[in-house]
Amino acid sequence: MKTSEDTFSKTAHPTADNWVAAHGGGELMERMGIEFTEYTLERTVGRMPVHGNRQTVGFLHGGAYVVLGESLGSMAANLHAGPGRLAVGVDINATHTRSATDGFVTGVCTPVHLGRTIAVHEIVVTDEDGDRCCTMRITNLIKDMPG
């Protein structure tokens, strides 16, 4: 997908790894066991264990899917925003279509729109069998870093 500005590289940062090392994913991502496995402007991927994130009847909690989706979408939008800019979530929605009960789920985030001030991404979460469990859309506002 082409961005609205030709100045962005594939990662929009000198190295995405440096950005991750500097900013990480935050306390909630760590607590839930979420890890990024790939991050470029074209695709951001992460996974999360079902164990430890289940609701009372044994299914992966619906809110856990959303935490995974927002983590991936925010990472992707911040990579698009580039140095000196920040992406802030303004909307997210999720449709749950299947329940994961064990193993890991994987989220794949791809851009729908990459603009100068708005980034929209779709996140598809699948279980270990490749079955779609949840589909999300996140919208991020891109603005200059404070200070």
Residue 4 belongs to a domain: no
Instruction: Indicate yes or no: pTM above 0.75.
Output: yes
Residue 2 belongs to a domain: no
pLDDT of 143 above 90 = yes
Of the chain, the percentage scoring pLDDT greater than 90 comes to 77
Report whether 12 contacts 41 (CB < 8 A): yes
- The catalytic residue among 30, 70, 122, 128 is 70
What is the CATH number for 44? Answer: 3.10.129.10
Q: What are the tens digits of pLDDT across the range 87-127?
A: 999 999 999 999 999 999 999 999 999 999 999 999 999 99
Whether residue 70 lies in the annotated active site: yes
What SS3 string covers the chain?
Answer: CCCCCCCCCCCCCCCHHHHHHHHCCCHHHHHHCCEEEEECCCCEEEEEECCCCECCCCCECHHHHHHHHHHHHHHHHHHHHCCCEEEEEEEEEEEECCCCCCCEEEEEEEEEEECCCEEEEEEEEECCCCCEEEEEEEEEEEEECCC
- At residue 6 the predicted structure's pLDDT band, cuts being 50, 70 and 90, is very low
Report whether 139 contacts 90 (CB < 8 A): yes
Compute the average pLDDT of residues 23-42: 89
Residue 47 belongs to a domain: yes
Domain that holds residue 65: 16-144
What's the structural domain count of the chain?
A: 1
Q: What are the tens digits of pLDDT across the range 34-45?
A: 999 998 889 999
pLDDT of 131 above 50 = yes
Residue that wins the pLDDT comparison between 21 and 77: 77
Residue 32 belongs to a domain: yes
Residue 65 belongs to a domain: yes
